[in-house]
Amino acid sequence: MIAAKPFLKWAGGKSQLLTQLEPLFPKKFNGYHEPFVGSAAIFFHLYNLKRGGIFPTTVMKRVGLTDSNDELINCYKVIKSQVEDLIERLAKHAKKHSEDYYYRVRGWLPKDLASLERAARFIYLNKTCFNGLYRVNSKGQFNVPMGNYANPKILDADELRTASRALRGVSVVTTAYETVLQRVEKGDFIYFDPPYHPRSRTASFTSYTEDAFDRQHQFELSEVFKKLDEKGCFVMLSNSWTPDVLDLYRYRGYHFIAVHASRLINSNADRRGKIKELVVLNYDPERTEGGSMMSGKRKAVASGHDLRDKVVAIGEKLQLDVRTEVKVGKRLWGASRLIDVVMTDKTTRKALGIECKFQEGGGSVDEKIPTTINDIGAWPISGIVVLGGKGFREHLRSYLYSTGKAVDIEDLDDWLKLYFGL
């Protein structure tokens, strides 16, 4: 039996990343949902793993594959229920293939075709067009030119039959990704592979559907991620490794994993190369039993003292000179002004003052932090506030980070390395 695999070429397809992504899947889960399914590289791989006995039989009894591209989803539906008819139609396209024929078929309008013919046209164009791109004009008409292939493989009957078997019992629906929230149950695994946030303003960006996936969409997706996390699901997301995307997921205690992909950046071969991409997980992939729900929890810091001890330990581990309760002048009424922790690089003598702020539950420490940040401005050395505990409200926390003067204890190690150039 051949392994199931994508039968389409798809921008951002995950086939080349499977060996890096596989160790990151939860070890056990219930249902599986892929709301940006594209060519379904991950679903087919999970299916193969399950068939190979890697997952318990209870895994993936419910599977939902969705995408906003109706032409794509129609294809899955036809493969699922009419694979032999589809093979027949594709064989006809393969026989007739020529430049002239390509442009004729491209000119057909999906709305005038029955679903079987639509699926055959879609696969035929995908196999013969330039780079397997999917792009439509403002009227929704497919407008990619023909690719330059001497002998394109238009039909692989076994591949389609295997895909058809894999899709048995799977629900395939055209819908926007956020509707996944209505379908999931606790213990389900959701893999998000959205159109990536561009790495730079000038980076080429492929719009898969008529509506591009912009910053607002990226933000809304991070909110859906969080809601799924709170429901007790295992959530995994791929995106570009960019400051904007990292910021969307950073402060909720999720795991960030780097994977490396060879991406065709543009048609210029010189610009191909390994690109660092981001995977966000709300569970610990090392755990063998069922992962561990993070539910937005960061590692526990028990008290203000504990926070300060942790700050000191991080500084010492980095071999900085660490002193606590350092006097820096007097306040207006004569009381000493103290800095919680001062760290100094033993060689360069570069110094940093740290104010530790702990908040466990609904208090109001966070509201006072802007004043603290202001006070830090009067110190004779640079300073930051380090936050610990789960009690900070998300919005205020984001605001504090945006000042560049507040750092979460979880990020302090990295932050200090950057600051001191270690």
Shortest distance in whole angstroms from residue 349 CB to ligand SAM: 49
Q: How far is the CB of 217 from ligand SAM (least distance, A)?
A: 6
Torsion angles phi and psi, residue 81, rounded to 5: -110, -15
Give least dist CB 192 to ligand SAM, A: 9
| CB 244, min distance to ligand SAM, A | 17
Helix (H, G, I), strand (E, B) or coil at 171: strand
Query: Residue 318: what residue type?
Result: L
d(CA 86, CA 164): 11
The Cα 162–Cα 60 span in angstroms is 17
Ranked by CB distance to ligand SAM, the top (closest) residue is: 38
Nearest Cα to 28, choosing from 50, 48, 56?
56
CB nearer to ligand SAM: pick between 206 and 319? 206
Contact residues toward ligand SAM (CB under 6 A) are 10, 12-14, 35-36, 38-39, 41-42, 67-69, 176-177, 193-195, 208-209, 213
How far is Cα 399 from Cα 342, in angstroms, rounded to an integer? 24
Query: With b meaning 16 or more CB within 10 Å and e meaning fewer, what string describes 78-111?
Result: bbbebbeebbebbeebeeebeeeebeebbeeebe
Closest to ligand SAM by CB, 159 vs 413, is: 159
Task: In angstroms, give the least distance from the CB of 75 to ligand SAM.
Answer: 11
Q: Which is closer to ligand SAM, CB of 193 or CB of 345? A: 193
State the DSSP H helix or E strand holding residue 308, giving kind and residue range, or none if neither: helix 304-317
Query: Residue 188 Cβ, how far from ligand SAM at the closest point, in Å?
Result: 17
- For residue 329 the two structure tokens come to 């002048």
Q: Which is nearer to ligand SAM, 68 or 82 (CB)?
A: 68
Question: For ligand SAM, which is the closer residue by CB, 193 or 355?
Answer: 193
Q: Which amino acid is at 378?
A: A
Interatomic CA distance for residues 75 and 88, integer angstroms: 15
Beginning with the edge strand found earlier in the chain, give each strand of the sheet holding 234-240 in spatial order: 171-174, 63-67, 32-34, 189-192, 234-240, 273-281, 255-263
Minimum CB distance to ligand SAM, residue 22 (Å): 14
Rank residues 203 and 300 by Cβ distance to ligand SAM and give the closer one. Answer: 203
Q: Which CB atom, from 12 or from 389, has the smaller least distance to ligand SAM? A: 12
